[in-house]
Amino acid sequence: DADVTQTPRNRITKTGKRIMLECSQTKGHDRMYWYRQDPGLGLRLIYYSFDVKDINKGEISDGYSVSRQAQAKFSLSLESAIPNQTALYFCATSDLKFGLYEQFFGPGTRLTVL
Amino acid sequence: GQSLEQPSEVTAVEGAIVQINCTYQTSGFYGLSWYQQHDGGAPTFLSYNALDGLEETGRFSSFLSRSDSYGYLLLQELQMKDSASYFCAVREPGTGGFKTIFGAGTRLFVKA
């Protein structure tokens, strides 16, 4: 079944470490997104990409960077992790076939920064 | 600035009807979506309204009034499995196209 996958599913790291979260999709969608979720704050957009050559900052891009290696792959990096980046991170996709407004989410990566 | 307001928690009884409201203030507006998220799970799409009025999908309906910057999600014949968090989300202009801004979510508790 076409899907959005994220690796790792859980990660514990220390302050100052570089971390990469990966997202892959087999849906053939052009658009990909990274969100973080904190209790009581909902989902906040970090970065989004409309194709391989297009990267855009979201609401909270500071401290993060992304790479769109291929249509199917979108990675999120924390260059120097800090404790307030502890959160649940979701990757999502959308496509013109679904009017672009429906987003399909991966299972999430729970990141803990000590 | 942009903001979406929705109640933090709602409690209802199995079989009842519940309405979750969402008001928004954004720099632009193209539509309002609703997502459901069960504990430990990923958000899943429920509905989308681009125009004023009511959209019905089974037990769930969603309403939009653009003039009031207001929408709601209506859940009928509540079931225990409807216990989850519900997020409203506004689609607005962004660099290169559209982006989606989510509310903080409403946690729905369904009691027997």
Task: Give A10-61 pLDDT, tens digit per residue.
Answer: 999 999 999 999 999 999 999 999 999 998 888 999 999 988 889 999 989 9
CB contact under 8 A, B48 and A99: yes
pLDDT tier for residue B63 given thresholds of 50, 70 and 90: very high
CB contact under 8 A, A101 and B101: no
Q: What is the pLDDT of residue A98?
A: 65
Which residues are A89's β-sheet partners?
Answer: A36, A109
pLDDT tier for residue A96 given thresholds of 50, 70 and 90: confident
**Is B99 an interface residue toward A (CB < 8 Å)?**
yes
| A19-25, strands of its sheet edge to edge | A4-7, A19-25, A73-78, A65-70
CA of A17, closest CA in chain B: separation in Å? 26
Residues A33, A47: contact at Cβ < 8 Å? yes
Please state, in angstroms and rounded to a whole number, the distance separating the CA atoms of residues B60 and B79. Answer: 12
Helices first, then strands: H and E counts in chain B: 0, 11
Q: What is the pLDDT of residue B74?
A: 98
Residues A89, A108: contact at Cβ < 8 Å? yes
CB contact under 8 A, B100 and A45: yes
Q: What is the pLDDT of residue A99?
A: 66
CB contact under 8 A, B101 and A48: no
Of B43, B101, B104, the CB nearest to A40: B104
